[in-house]
Amino acid sequence: MPCRPASASAGFTLFELLAVIIILGLVVGMAALSVGAGGRDQQIEEQGNRFIALAGLARQEVMLGGPSLAIGVTQHGYHFLHEVEVEDGVTAWLPLGEHRYLRSRDLLPDDLELELTLEGVDTRLELQPEQPDPHIYVYGTGEVTEFNLVIRDMREPDRKRVVTGDLGGQLELRQELPDD
């Protein structure tokens, strides 16, 4: 019986293992990137939904007889304001302070910026004012100032959501600005 030479082991070569590891790394990296991008869109959408919920809560409080409220918008956040008499006959809009829900919100840590259009007119927003100006007024009748609030990713400006509010107090989250 002839002797056969020892056959190559039935395993994989180092080159084959390295190729498989590289391919797996690429697949995992692509999956992580696609999940991360979707996560960013979801984060922007969550901020839009939070704004709608809080503005709706402010509207309900005013309709139930609470003080007049307004929302002051800055480049990276928004503040719930109430009208306060600071001197005889002189009033000012001041932040609510430590309200349980209607407190100031800062979106800069999330790398988000805001753009505001009031009744069809673009509004210049301040970066971090000492005293934010009121922009969106909430009336006791349930009406609100008509507005479009764009919440935009600072790193990828095409990633955005738009909160729209009409005079009747209806708030809606959209992906694009509404057509006029």
User: Per-domain residue ranges for the chain?
Assistant: 16-174
CATH homologous superfamily of domain 16-174? Answer: minor pseudopilin epsh domain (3.55.40.10)
Identify the three-state secondary structure at position 164. Answer: strand
Give the model confidence (pLDDT) of 71-128 as tens digits. 999 999 999 999 988 888 899 999 987 778 998 999 988 899 999 999 999 999 998 8
DSSP-assigned letters across all residues of 19-41: HHHHHHHHHHHHHHHHHHHHHHH
Rg (CA), the chain: 27
Quote the CA–CA distance of 118 and 138 in Å, as a whole number: 13
Two tokens at 144?
């609100």
pLDDT band at 34, cuts 50/70/90?
A: low
The mean pLDDT of the chain is: 87
In this prediction the pTM is: 0.76
Side chain identity, residue 32: A
Would you say 126 and 74 are in contact if contact means Cβ atoms under 8 Å apart? yes
pLDDT band at 49, cuts 50/70/90?
A: very high
Question: Percentage of residues in the chain with pLDDT exceeding 70?
Answer: 89
Quote the CA–CA distance of 120 and 165 in Å, as a whole number: 12
Quote the CA–CA distance of 165 and 32 in Å, as a whole number: 35
Query: What is the per-residue pLDDT for 38?
Result: 63
Question: Percentage of residues in the chain with pLDDT exceeding 90?
Answer: 57
